[in-house]
């Protein structure tokens, strides 16, 4: 049934409904199962999470890391940073500034470090389901970006189901992006996908469903 839904570009419950209680629990179990699988690998073999550390500072490769993504987006919203500032920021470490116990977010590095330190979800944010198609590969838990650099600060969502779509003859995916106004309502935005633990970033065509 899941494959049938996927081939016809329809989300499957609960996997493709990450904001529902069942979808959230499903994703949590996927992460735990992948972590157990990784713990049984020979020491000579690099796990997906170990490889992911080469490309991501904050996201867990074993699942769709909605907690850190939501927290990052909310922290960005209430910081002094805007999209132009983010594009110019190299993301290199700098000296932290504090207002009492709270770190002041003046840079991408501040934002990512603060996101890592937040243990719980800050709040819910609006989400939008989408279909994705490209000429490369799309795997479950792939990361979706608004910029071809594929860096954490440009992550906007995750692929909940990704595989070869026999109806299309190419890989496609169903995923969810955080519905930021500039991404949904403004024309001309592209999305990019990177599979967990992999370096290659693909441009994808997408449509909101």
What is the Cα–Cα distance from 157 to 127, expressed in whole angstroms?
9
Predicted TM-score (pTM) of the model is 0.80
Angle, helices 108-117/66-77, rounded to nearest 10 degrees: 130
- pLDDT given for residue 122 in this prediction: 45
What confidence category does residue 13 fall into, taking pLDDT thresholds of 50, 70 and 90? Answer: very high
> Per mean pLDDT, which range of 39-43, 195-199, 202-206 is the poorest?
202-206
> Per mean pLDDT, which range of 2-6, 23-27, 120-124, 144-148 is the poorest?
120-124
- pLDDT given for residue 136 in this prediction: 83
* Comparison of pLDDT for 152 and 89, the residue scoring more: 152
């Amino acid at each position: 049934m899941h494959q049938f839904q996927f081939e016809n570009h329809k989300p499957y419950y609960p996997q493709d409904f990450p904001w529902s209680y069942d979808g959230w629990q499903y994703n949590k179990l996927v992460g735990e199962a992948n972590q157990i699988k990784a713990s049984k690998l020979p020491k000579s073999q690099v796990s997906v999470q170990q490889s992911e550390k080469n490309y991501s500072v904050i996201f867990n490769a074993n699942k769709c890391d909605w907690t850190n993504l939501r927290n990052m987006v909310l922290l960005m919203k209430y910081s002094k940073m805007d999209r132009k500032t983010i594009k110019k920021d190299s993301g290199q470490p700098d000296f932290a500034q504090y207002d009492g116990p709270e770190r002041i977010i003046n840079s991408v590095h501040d934002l990512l470090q603060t996101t890592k330190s937040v243990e719980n979800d800050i709040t819910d944010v609006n989400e939008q389901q989408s279909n994705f198609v490209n000429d490369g590969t799309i795997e479950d838990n792939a990361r979706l970006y608004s910029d071809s650099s594929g860096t954490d600060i440009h992550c906007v969502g995750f692929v909940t189901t990704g595989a070869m779509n026999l109806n299309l003859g190419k890989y496609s995916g169903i995923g969810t992006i955080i519905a930021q106004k500039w991404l949904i309502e403004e024309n001309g935005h592209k999305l990019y996908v990177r599979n967990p633990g992999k370096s290659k970033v693909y441009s994808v065509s997408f449509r909101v469903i």
